[in-house]
Amino acid sequence: MTNHKETDYILPGRAESYWMATTPESSYPPLSGDIRVDVAILGGGMVGITTAYLLKEAGVPSVAVIEADRIITGVTGRTTAKVTSQHSLIYDRLISKFGKHQAQQYAESNQAALEKIASIVSSKDIACDFVRKPAYVYAGTEDSVEIIQKEVDAAQSLGLPASFKADLPLPFDTYGAVRFSNQAQFHPRKYLCALAREIEGDGCHIFEKTRALKLEGDGPITITTDKGIIKAQKVIQATHFPIHDKPGMLFQRLYQSRSYVLGVRIEESFPQGMFINAEKPVRSLRSQPVGEGELVLVSGEGHRTGEGNEIDHYKNLEKWVRSVYSVNSIDYHWSTQDVMTVDHVPYIGLLTSDNENLFIATGFRKWGMTTGTVAAMILTDMILGQSNPWGEVYNPSRFKPLESAKSFFSQAAEATKGLVGDRVIPVHEKASQISPGEGAIVKIEGEKVAAYRDKAGVLHTLDPSCRHMGCIVSWNNAEKTWDCPCHGSRYNAKGEVIKSPAVYGLFEKKVKGQK
């Protein structure tokens, strides 16, 4: 049984993403009273801000972005911010499972999204560290060489700027790579904060610290928030994992995955390019200019939310980067959470075919800078009543048996296990053994309890059932949160909701005689 006094390992650097640490916090007001708009967008990340910007540019009279916290502080504020149509190894799979036509749509849309971002940066003169660089997926073992070559062939057949590169300027063994030329990287908050300033005013709004709780109706749609009521003819859910997901049974087709980032200063010069390996565990690398020097963002160690030891993943990343580079310092550490679809392609469009006013954008895996922009472009066209050449491949109502059947039933089984309560939950020692600043699922009088002891030594006890669909949460020892392993809802140590799809906090659970 685990001793619940946590490891002596100290997480290195500042516990904040570089993007948020180097930009001021926004200060848009919360909703005050009831309003009516043409389009309401739930979520102020890449999709929400970009879509609102494009809709206003197109002349839609009134658009409102509703954000539960501050804009661009969720997943978009924690990305590695690669702006690329290269999404690890995707195109050979797409051709074989979706067919050449829809693979072409995916390729063209993401390449177009890259150029859309470049065009906005240029036309608005946004200082956001946007720079063109090649992107590489490299073979870390000889066994991966064949799949790398297949990816090169597939990408080239779709007209993408792909080629095979035999040697890479990296300080460890590689066995060839697929290279996409003329890709890009940027500072996502500098970019999106500039777009947000274009949205506010002239009938358009950004409401922060306003949590959407419920959607009702089919046009106009009524959005109940914790600050008032919004009525909108069209509603886009860009909340990462949709809060209103049951009509399309999305909870059976989506799950969330956590991964980790270290911001590292190294002795060596980092090569021109963005790099990711073809194997697991993932090792992703890119540099970011910082004053006179550069920060190297080292990321990877992905796993399903709510499963695994989070501190160990940081340890693994640090051990690896120190084994390949001379590390001067680790300045930042942060984690992120990505929504995954069962067939690896995002859901963008109508939530269900029988409601023409309710849209979703989700499931960007770990490539949300371009696919989030694709979503904004597709949804803008749909709301304006214009045709879009790429919507078919992203249709949320799709089902590709060859690609997704096995994953669909696997994910459905995971969700069902959580719903019926037969998931194997590690139950730790007595609550009295929990150290200050730590938490655990414990059993008290035969019932599972989510117990957290604060720094003052006071024990807080909660019902461990996630408020989304009742799955049992688990303790995240790196970020001191309660995370749901079924659908990725997250709560702070005292049970307040911080990540969707849940919109309400965990219930308090009174227990007798516990200290």
Q: Is the pLDDT of residue 212 over 90?
A: yes
Looking at residue 514, what is its pLDDT?
Answer: 62
Looking at residue 422, what is its pLDDT?
Answer: 45
Fold of 129-183+253-340: D-Amino Acid Oxidase; Chain A, domain 2 (3.30.9)
Split at pLDDT 50, 70, 90, the class of 31 is very high
pLDDT in tens, 86-122: 999 999 999 999 999 999 999 999 999 999 999 999 9
Looking at residue 400, what is its pLDDT?
Answer: 59
Looking at residue 385, what is its pLDDT?
Answer: 97
Q: Is the pLDDT of residue 161 over 90?
A: yes
Q: Is the pLDDT of residue 405 over 90?
A: no
Average pLDDT over the chain reads 93
Range 10-15, long-range pairs (CB < 8 A, 24+ positions): 11/311, 11/314, 11/333, 11/478, 12/262, 12/314, 12/318, 12/330, 12/333, 13/262, 13/263, 13/329, 13/330, 13/331, 13/332, 13/333, 14/331, 14/332, 14/333, 15/332, 15/333, 15/334
Looking at residue 308, what is its pLDDT?
Answer: 81
Chain position carrying tokens 């057949």 = 157
Of residues 378 and 404, more confidence is placed in 378
Looking at residue 515, what is its pLDDT?
Answer: 60
pLDDT in tens, 410-428: 544 555 455 444 444 556 6
Q: Which residues are registered as beta bridge partners of 169?
A: none
What is the mean pLDDT of the segment spanning 492-502? 96
Of residues 402 and 515, more confidence is placed in 515
Q: Is the pLDDT of residue 57 over 80?
A: yes
Q: Is the pLDDT of residue 355 over 80?
A: yes
Coil, strand, or helix at residue 226? coil
Q: How far is it, in rounded angstroms, from Cα 143 to Cα 265?
A: 31
Q: How far is it, in rounded angstroms, from Cα 410 to Cα 413?
A: 5
| Inter-residue contact 478 to 439 (CB < 8 Å) | no
Encode 342-354: b = buried (16+ Cβ within 10 Å), e = exposed.
bbbbbbbbbbeee
Could you give phi then psi for residue 5, rounded to 5 degrees? -80, 115
Split at pLDDT 50, 70, 90, the class of 399 is confident
Tokens of 260: 């980790």
Question: Which distant-in-sequence residues (6+ apart) come within 8 Å of 415 by Cβ?
Answer: 251, 252, 469, 471, 486, 487
State whether the Cα torsion 171-174-179-184 is positive or negative.
negative
Looking at residue 431, what is its pLDDT?
Answer: 86
Of residues 445 and 56, more confidence is placed in 56
pLDDT in tens, 317-344: 999 999 999 999 999 999 999 999 999 9
Looking at residue 173, what is its pLDDT?
Answer: 97
Looking at residue 2, what is its pLDDT?
Answer: 40
Chain position carrying tokens 């106009």 = 220
Looking at residue 83, what is its pLDDT?
Answer: 98
Looking at residue 433, what is its pLDDT?
Answer: 87
Q: Is the pLDDT of residue 4 over 70?
A: no
Split at pLDDT 50, 70, 90, the class of 3 is very low
Please state which CATH class domain 431-499 belongs to: mainly beta
Domain ranges of the chain: 18-79+190-251+344-402, 129-183+253-340, 431-499
Q: Is the pLDDT of residue 404 over 80?
A: no
Q: Percent of the chain beyond pLDDT 90? A: 86
| Inter-residue contact 492 to 437 (CB < 8 Å) | no
Q: Which residues are registered as beta bridge partners of 138?
A: 177, 277
Looking at residue 252, what is its pLDDT?
Answer: 87
Encode 267-289: b = buried (16+ Cβ within 10 Å), e = exposed.
eeebbebbbbbbeeebbbbbbbe
The CATH code of domain 18-79+190-251+344-402 reads: 3.50.50.60
pLDDT in tens, 259-290: 999 999 999 999 999 999 999 999 999 999 99
| Inter-residue contact 226 to 56 (CB < 8 Å) | no
| Inter-residue contact 388 to 382 (CB < 8 Å) | yes
Split at pLDDT 50, 70, 90, the class of 445 is confident
Coil, strand, or helix at residue 395? coil
pTM for this prediction = 0.94
Run of H or E including 199:
helix 188-199
| Inter-residue contact 113 to 370 (CB < 8 Å) | yes
Tokens of 225: 């928030």
Q: Percent of the chain beyond pLDDT 70? A: 92
